[in-house]
Amino acid sequence: MLFRDIFHTGIRSIRHARMRSFLTILGIVIGISSVIVLMSVGTSAQALIVDQVQSIGSDLIFILPGATLSSRFSAPASAFGVVTKTLVQADVNALEREPSISAVVPAVYGQGTIAYGNNNAIISYQGVTANFFQVRNFKVASGRPFNTADVQGGNRVAVLGQNIAKTLFGNFDPVGKYVRIANTPLQVIGVLGKQGTGPGGVNQDDIALVPITVAQNQLIGINYFNFVTVQANPSYNMDFVKARVISDLRQDHGITDPTKDDFTVQTQQDALAILGSITSVMTVFLAAIASISLVVGGIGIMNIMLVSVVERTREIGLRKAVGATNRDILRQFLVESALLTLVGGVIGIAIGALIDVLAYLVLSAVLETGWVFALPASAIILGAGVSTAIGIVFGFYPARQAARKSPIEALHYE
Amino acid sequence: MLAIRGLKKVYRDEGDEGTTALDGLSFDIEKGEFVAIMGPSGSGKSTLLHILGFLDRPTGGEYVFNGKKMDELSDEDLARVRNREMGFVFQDFNLLGHATVAENVELPLLYSTDIEPADRRTLVERAVKAVGLEEKMRVEAGNLSGGQKQRVAIARALVMDPSVVFADEPTGNLDSKSGGAVMEILRELNKEGHTVILVTHETYTAEFANRILHIKDGLLEKDEKVLKQRETFFK
């Protein structure tokens, strides 16, 4: 029997029992649409995260003190608050001499109370050098950023994030006023523009920036750095620059055995790879849960196909009498259940896409950052393929039952 | 064209000694014959027809159809022979009710490996015309009268131009007028050269044939030549 004819026969019997066919494929529709929604939401979330990471600047290399243990996906101890004092000014000086590096921004992190008059708040502040603003693309909305003279002179100045400015000053302009951080008076010289949530969920409108010398010597009292950002010279390859950073630091720290590194160097690609793998795992995990309903749907298909085989016993007998082989009958029922589930899959994809559009409209209105609409082609192909496969897998047993009927018993079935 | 020797069929359920439907039948049927198999109900005549039509296998004895020994053929081979060389007409028509007349008649062509799809239409039209239903080609089979349904079934049996047509009580569900029309068509087919093998329990239906095999208790009771074949259904 030609496939075209089998196909026609299948379409005919599905159309003949429209209501039943629809109810039969409902499980598949629900399963496929949830898989589609989860896959596309996962993709969108991934795109959003990647976008945020990339907004930091794709030419940056991050240095953390302390070694990274075991795999490349783990973070150094310093990331968990363990104090490591190995990154110092000598390292920064060495890196600044490197022609493949265009900027080096050391940073220290502190936490403390910021107060203005009776208003106060507990904040995270960063001590940074003047080139931080240009390297990290932080703009001031009013006033000015601090400059090299402020840093070198240890001037007691601060640039506030939008939210802190609002908390302490309400609608007044803080520029020129004095705030106290860790009981040290600092003059506010600028307020940052709106930065939004950065990678890792830190709201960058909640931080205050002070010259690194002030933070090290007056606020915290340390002489090492918590973090160093390196901006690569655009004419050099990132991997090369990363290698240069590592070799400079090893030389500076007198390390000959790479396993004894007391620092961790990560590029933005490394960060993207980690985040990408996390979101992929999440997406696959959620899609796997959603696909449980596909199994349930498949069992429903098997059930209905078994009923259909019994109901059509006489038809099977007749087809055999006029020359259908067992294989013809097997194919006919397999194609029929595969068609059913494929239709279910297509409807599921359409409903999933619709939910995606709604999610896009709602999320892009709620989230300030851009939520991108994503309906990956892989999800569509997977949805159609999986649904057809379910039809073939769960349709096989009923189809074999049909094929095995003896023509004469089938013809005499009442 | 077909020959059976010592044909046996015993239906055996677990534990019991079995029911003997055919108890060692032997006869030949030549090409072009119109044979009626007669007998009371339970005589084994339907079982015999099913075996002759390759729908069922005997439990003993030999069956040779057009030079092919049945016990040497696989189920696939049987299906192919049924498709190419045999046509079936059943008592209760066995049409696909929601398919049109043309689609019902086309059914055997779909399972044929040597009919080109382009030729199907011509073959279907010829077969439907042969039973006089060309006006009803696009009508759903379920909407036809009993007599028309049986004529569709005959067209379906004819469409592959088989060497033999098996008819199992073809008039059993019909009034005498439509039954007569059906028998006349079968007689026409026989005149055109098709071998027709008919199962019936009605003498006046059997008399359309030129030979009547009387079966009783699974044995051939009488092999009777019909000297004057019946031409119409009415006395």
Query: What residues have CB less than 8 Å from B137, skipping those under 6 apart?
Result: B100, B101, B102, B124, B125, B128
Average pLDDT over residues B160-178: 92
For residue B86, the chain A residue with the least C-alpha distance is A322
DSSP code, position A312:
T
Residue A65: predicted pLDDT: 87
Answer yes or no: are the C-beta atoms of B210 and B45 closer than 8 Å. no
What is B130-162 written as a DSSP string? HTT-GGGTTSBGGGS-HHHHHHHHHHHHHTT--
Residue A199: predicted pLDDT: 55
Res. A76 pLDDT band, cuts 50 70 90 = low
Residues of B in contact with A411 (CB under 8 A): 55, 90, 94
Q: Report yes or no: B53 at the A interface, CB cutoff 8 Å.
A: yes
Residues of A in contact with B160 (CB under 8 A): 323
Res. A82 pLDDT band, cuts 50 70 90 = low
User: Alpha-carbon distance B169 to A168, whole Å?
Assistant: 102
Residue A200: predicted pLDDT: 53
Q: Report yes or no: B108 at the A interface, CB cutoff 8 Å.
A: yes
- Domain limits of chain A? 3-53+277-411, 85-261
Contact B79 A325 (CB under 8 A): yes
What's the one-letter identity of residue B7?
A: L
Residue A343: predicted pLDDT: 93
Q: In this structure, what are the phi and psi dihedrals at residue A361, rounded to the nearest 5 degrees?
A: -65, -45
Q: How far apart, in Å, are the Cα atoms of A132 and each of A8, A198, A277, B9, B31? A: 69, 15, 29, 98, 103
Instruction: Label the pairing between strands A119-128 and A101-116.
Output: antiparallel
Query: What residues have CB less than 8 Å from A80, skipping those under 6 apart?
Result: none
Total domain count, chain B: 1
Residue B210 domain-assigned?
Answer: yes
Is residue A251's pLDDT more than 80? yes
Residue B190 domain-assigned?
Answer: yes
Q: B52: closest CA among B151, B163, B135?
A: B163
| Chain A, chain B: beta-carbon pairs less than 8 Å apart | 64
Answer yes or no: are the C-beta atoms of A14 and A336 closer than 8 Å. yes
- A69: Cα within 13 Å, side-chain hemisphere: 4
Res. B226 pLDDT band, cuts 50 70 90 = confident
Average pLDDT over residues A99-121: 91
Distance from CA of A5 to the nearest CA of B (A): 7
Degrees (nearest 5) of the Cα angle B224, B229, B235? 115
Residue A289: predicted pLDDT: 83
What's the one-letter identity of residue A24?
A: T
What is A321-384 written as a DSSP string? HTT--HHHHHHHHHHHHHHHHHHHHHHHHHHHHHHHHHHHHHHHHH-SSPPPP---HHHHHHHH
Residue A369: predicted pLDDT: 63
Q: Report yes or no: B73 at the A interface, CB cutoff 8 Å.
A: no
Contact B94 A407 (CB under 8 A): no
Q: Report yes or no: B9 at the A interface, CB cutoff 8 Å.
A: no
Distance from CA of A366 to the nearest CA of B (A): 54
Domain that holds residue B170: 2-225
What's the one-letter identity of residue A347?
A: I
User: Alpha-carbon distance B24 to B7, whole Å?
Assistant: 5
Distance from CA of A330 to the nearest CA of B (A): 13
Answer yes or no: are the C-beta atoms of A185 and A139 closer than 8 Å. no
Query: Which is higher by pLDDT, B114 or B34?
Result: B34
Distance from CA of A300 to the nearest CA of B (A): 25
Contact B75 A325 (CB under 8 A): yes
User: Alpha-carbon distance B34 to A35, whole Å?
Assistant: 64
Q: Which helix (H) or strand (E) covers residue A108, if one does?
A: strand A101-116
Q: Report yes or no: B56 at the A interface, CB cutoff 8 Å.
A: yes
Distance from CA of B227 to the nearest CA of A (A): 33
A111: which strand partners? A124
Contact B111 A323 (CB under 8 A): yes
Residues of B in contact with A320 (CB under 8 A): 55, 79, 82
Is residue A254's pLDDT more than 90? no
| Percentage with pLDDT > 90 across chain B | 75
CATH number at residue B59: 3.40.50.300
User: Alpha-carbon distance B3 to A37, whole Å?
Assistant: 67
User: Alpha-carbon distance B13 to B15, whole Å?
Assistant: 6
Degrees (nearest 5) of the Cα angle A85, A137, A180? 60
Could you tell me the maximum CA-CA distance found in chain B, to the nearest angstrom? Answer: 55
Helix runs in A97-204, H state only: 132-135, 148-153, 162-169
Residue B218 domain-assigned?
Answer: yes
Residue A75: predicted pLDDT: 64
Which residue in B9, B96, B103, B120 has the most chain A C-beta atoms within 10 A of its own C-beta, making it the best mutation to test that interface? B96
Residue A79: predicted pLDDT: 64
Is residue A214's pLDDT more than 90? yes
Query: How far is C-alpha A371 from the geometric centre of its chain's CA atoms?
Result: 12
Is residue A49's pLDDT more than 60? yes
Contact A321 B112 (CB under 8 A): no
Residue B162: predicted pLDDT: 94
Q: Which residue has the tokens 């899609």?
A: A287
A228: which strand partners? A63, A106
Q: Report yes or no: B88 at the A interface, CB cutoff 8 Å.
A: yes
User: Alpha-carbon distance A246 to A259, whole Å?
Assistant: 12
Residue A46: predicted pLDDT: 81
Is residue A55's pLDDT more than 90? no
| Predicted structure pTM score | 0.71
CB atoms within 10 A of CB B227: 6
For residue A313, the chain B residue with the least C-alpha distance is B94
Average pLDDT over residues A305-322: 92
Residues of B in contact with A328 (CB under 8 A): 79, 111
Q: Report yes or no: B156 at the A interface, CB cutoff 8 Å.
A: yes
Residue A198: predicted pLDDT: 61
Residue B198 domain-assigned?
Answer: yes
Residues of A in contact with B55 (CB under 8 A): 320-321, 407-408, 411
Contact B156 A328 (CB under 8 A): no
Answer yes or no: are the C-beta atoms of B222 and B37 closer than 8 Å. no
Residue A201: predicted pLDDT: 57
Answer yes or no: are the C-beta atoms of A208 and A214 closer than 8 Å. no
B55: nearest CB among A1, A4, A321: A321
